[in-house]
Amino acid sequence: MNDDAQILIARLLTHQTLRRDDKMVKRALSDDQFRAEIDKRLLECGLKLLDNVYADHVTLALHRNVEPKIFGAKDIWQNNNFGLTRDGVALLVVLWAQIILPKRQRQETHQAVDVDQSDMFDKDNPIPRAEDTSIGISYTTLLADFGDKLGKKTRMDMNLGLLSKLGFIERRGDVILEGPLLDLLMDTDVLKERIINGALADVFKRAPLAAAPRRHVSEAANDEPQPVADAAAQTDIDTPQA
């Protein structure tokens, strides 16, 4: 006989992501007993529920301790590549840094994209939703700034297509937007320091990429990615269940 925990898990396995404002997801995030039952059932299958107060969606991922048994030994398997080459992983990290980090800052200061100046410091307001704070970046500017380091246009277009298919990004014309998985599968606490003080430190010393609010919206190249790709290859990303 079906029950709510079974139905929610089945829906997540079927749809990969569900919005946080979904009725059953809201219950899982607020009802400790219901959440414990979900976690217990998922753990028995080597899975876990991924949620992030800064993200608008939740998803399922493999537990770290079962990943090697599923994908192989660490010396021959990269748990976080999703079939992406090194320049693809590097592109993912760049997009995460350019979209998620600024969004996180706006959420932590309770500042929506179109917030009134008088409301900026109202700490009593709830954390703004991702769709109200997430800002897309211009594909044209991304290509100009990082194309040479990330395989040039042909490679970048191929990797953007794969990232879109995987649910990390969405594309609307020239604007690249946050997808449902971009702020779920990457460890912000670990990556933030590595990126700001490491591989992309020079990026954050410059003016940000041309951006557009989320609400509004060929030449072959085999060049090896530059150092940004080397650092990104160490990125730790949860493996979702889809």
At position 68, the amino acid (one-letter code) is P
pLDDT confidence of 154, banded at 50, 70, 90? Answer: very high
The Cα–Cα gap between 47 and 60 comes to 7
Residue 149 is predicted with a pLDDT of 86
Residue 136 is predicted with a pLDDT of 86
Residue 76 is predicted with a pLDDT of 54
More confident residue, 99 or 200: 99
Residue 83 is predicted with a pLDDT of 72
pLDDT at 72 exceeding the cut of 60: yes
Residue 228 is predicted with a pLDDT of 47
pLDDT at 207 exceeding the cut of 50: no
What tokens does 157 get?
A: 């277009």
Please name every residue paired with 212 in a beta bridge, in sequence order, or none if there are none: 136
The mean pLDDT of the chain is: 77
Q: Is the separation of the CB atoms in 106 and 112 below 8 Å?
A: yes
Output the 3-class SS for 62-91: ECHHHHHHHHCCCCCCCCCCCCCCHHHHHH
The Cα–Cα gap between 237 and 185 comes to 5
Residue 226 is predicted with a pLDDT of 42
Q: Helix or strand or coil: residue 220?
A: coil
Q: Summarize the confidence of residues 58-67 as an average pLDDT.
A: 88
- Give the DSSP H/E element, type plus range, for residue 59: strand 57-62
Q: Helix or strand or coil: residue 213?
A: strand
The Cα–Cα gap between 181 and 75 comes to 26
Q: Is the separation of the CB atoms in 214 and 76 below 8 Å?
A: no
Strand order in 17-19's β-sheet? Answer: 17-19, 57-62, 47-50
Q: Is the separation of the CB atoms in 156 and 126 below 8 Å?
A: no
Indicate the pairing of strand 47-50 with strand 135-138. Answer: unpaired
Phi-psi region of 129 (alpha: psi -120 to 50; beta: other; left: phi over 0): beta
What tokens does 229 get?
A: 């790709």
pLDDT at 5 exceeding the cut of 50: yes
The Cα–Cα gap between 185 and 60 comes to 10
The Cα–Cα gap between 134 and 103 comes to 5
pLDDT at 105 exceeding the cut of 70: yes
The Cα–Cα gap between 32 and 238 comes to 24
The Cα–Cα gap between 240 and 93 comes to 17
pLDDT at 225 exceeding the cut of 80: no
Q: Summarize the confidence of residues 98-104 as an average pLDDT.
A: 86
Whether the full predicted model's pTM is greater than 0.75, yes or no, is: no
Structure letter (DSSP) for residue 240: B
Measure the N-to-C terminal CA separation of the chain; round to a whole number of Å. Answer: 24
